[in-house]
Structure 1
Amino acid sequence: MSAKTLRYLIIAALIVLWEVLPRTGAIPELFLPSLSSTLQAGWSDAGEYWHALLVTLYEVAIAMVIACGGGILAGAVVGSLPRPRVLIMPMVSSLYAVPLVILYPVFTVWLGIGPESKIAFAGLYGFLPTMLSTAAGIQTIDPQLLLAARSMGATLSQRVTRVVIPAAIPTVLSGLRVGGALVIVGVVVSEMLISPAGIGYLISRYRTILDSPHVFAGVLLVLAMAVAFNTLIKLIERHAAVWQVGTRAGRDVIAPSAVGQAA
């Protein structure tokens, strides 16, 4: 049995258990509503969930630009320059170890309870791992690539955008997966804390009235966003695999296969 088939069987078993256990009373419906009642709750209020999903997607999209775009550029610059790397990386690593959710009240004081505070908080939440992963990925780049770029007169911005980032893409995407997931978590959590709209707001509102089917309907939407983002990253990884030839790790992977073909 292949691993892919086994994964599908596990997912199917979890779906069946989700429906059967609450129906048979093994798990109280208050703790875990059946899958059918969850889907029915979401369908009956599809308009409300659709509007909330659009709000959340808007906030996630802008926060992704801040976290992923800014994190990649900042990590590329810091990782390329020895002195900033020595000065900045320890501070960023220490800040990443702090649970940033404690800073969300500060963002609400500065930016209010509207989407601005959620975007800023989620952007920072995903920025740190993306930056750290990008800076670490720079270390896997073949130094001969940078030397060749300098010898041809490439400026710092040209080396970063045309050599550093493309060659570090495999490692960057690993950080991008973590950073993007944290952006989604940051937006939803901030909506649950203080927000008049969004999926997190619906989850929090229905939780206060103990409406479990509607709560889990919101959770399913969050799960769908995370799965869609992970699928997108896997697609990008598949198309960006060619850039591994510019890294030490890529050479280690390609060299054995090349030897085998020559033999």
Structure 2
Amino acid sequence: MSSAATAAAAASASRFRVEPATMRRLLGLALLILWEVLPRAGFIPSLFLPPLTETLRALVAGGGEYLRHLLLSLYAIGLSMLAACGIGIGAGLLIGSIAPVRRVVQPLASGLYAVPLVILYPLFTAWFGIGPQSKIVFASIYGLLPCFLGTVAGVQTIDRQYVTVARSMKASRWQMVSRVLLPAAIPTVLSAFRVGGALVIVGIVVAEMLTSTEGIGYLITRYRTLLESPRVSAGILVVVALVVAFDSLVRLLERRTRHWRLSTRSA
């Protein structure tokens, strides 16, 4: 009887179990409802957080302006992400496979990552001006270190037998990186790409908010100065949508590279 009762309880629990994706959607829907209800009810001043409907109305009314500045931000984000993630992941795979170099470079990169790079942004503006060059360089460096450190850590978790077999087959350094290290470390590499790419987006928006005359961050700062809260919230909503879209892209890459992980495990 006890086993039958346990099985029935387990079946009942599985019947009412909510999938993680469904839970995320419900949580997002609840946040949107609270965004609309709390300011309307007076729990949050509209100056600090306008209702969702007013935010969407401001976004639609200024759609052309937001789109123009979003394209400028996307251009800077694309260049910065290409530099940060490309150089960071490539250098992480290469340096992570060379133990003597890794022992020297990894502690230095970890120490630099602990430094808040935002305090160095005035130096970038002095060197590159207040145009797109300064924010691109700043965001590239901001996202490069986590990509590099995450990739190096992923290389260290690879089974050494893969490396030994590749060396016994006289694989070149490029073959070692592209056909052994990258497929075996792809989960950690994508995690590093997720963190580094998100920091690139943050770096671009922060740079635009500090010293820029274009981009979504600039719009947020301008409308904040004018105390136009709905337009500020509209800009923040655009940034949130951009981050969610980037996360969805990384999830798509994880699904597309799943066969790499499976083939590595079977090997």
The reply to whether TM is greater than 0.5 is yes
Match of 1:2 in 2: 18
Match of 1:88 in 2: 105
* 4+ aligned runs moved over 4 Å, structure 1: none
Q: Matched residues, percent identical?
A: 56
Q: 1:204 aligns with which of 209, 221, 229?
A: 221
1:105 paired with 2:111, answer: no
Which amino acid in the other structure matches residue 69 of structure 1?
G
Match of 2:13 in 1: none
State how far apart, in whole Å, the 1-side matches of 2:69 and 2:205 are. 11
1:182 paired with 2:209, answer: no
Which amino acid in the other structure matches residue 44 of structure 1?
A
1:169-199: CA deviations, max 9, x gaps? 1111111111010000000000000001000
Match of 2:88 in 1: 71
Instruction: Between 28-37 and 158-167, report the one with greater CA deviation.
Output: 158-167
Match of 1:230 in 2: 247
1:140-194: CA deviations, max 9, x gaps? 2122222222222221122112221121111111111110100000000000000
1:113-149: CA deviations, max 9, x gaps? 1111111110111100000010010012122222222
Match of 1:261 in 2: none
From the CA coordinates, give the structure whose radius of gyration is larger.
2
Give ranges in structure 1 of 5+ residues lacking alignment. 255-263
State how far apart, in whole Å, the 2-side matches of 1:173 and 1:186 are. 19
* Distance verdict in 2 for CA 1:209–1:113, change over 3 Å: same
Q: RMSD between aligned alpha carbons?
A: 1.5
Instruction: Give the SS at the match of 2:170.
Output: coil
Match of 1:260 in 2: none
- TM-score normalised according to structure 2 size: 0.90
Give ranges in structure 2 of 5+ residues lacking alignment. 1-16
Instruction: Give the SS at the match of 2:34.
Output: helix
* Cα displacement (A) at 1:246: 6.9
- TM-score normalised according to structure 1 size: 0.91
Instruction: Between 19-28 and 205-214, report the one with greater CA deviation.
Output: 19-28
State how far apart, in whole Å, the 2-side matches of 1:62 and 1:179 are. 13
1:239 paired with 2:256, answer: yes
Match of 2:232 in 1: 215
State how far apart, in whole Å, the 2-side matches of 1:6 and 1:149 are. 44
Aligned residues: 250
Instruction: Between 194-203 and 16-25, report the one with greater CA deviation.
Output: 16-25
For residues 33-48 of structure 1, the aligned pairs below 5 Å read 33-48=50-65
Q: 1:146 aligns with which of 163, 167, 187?
A: 163
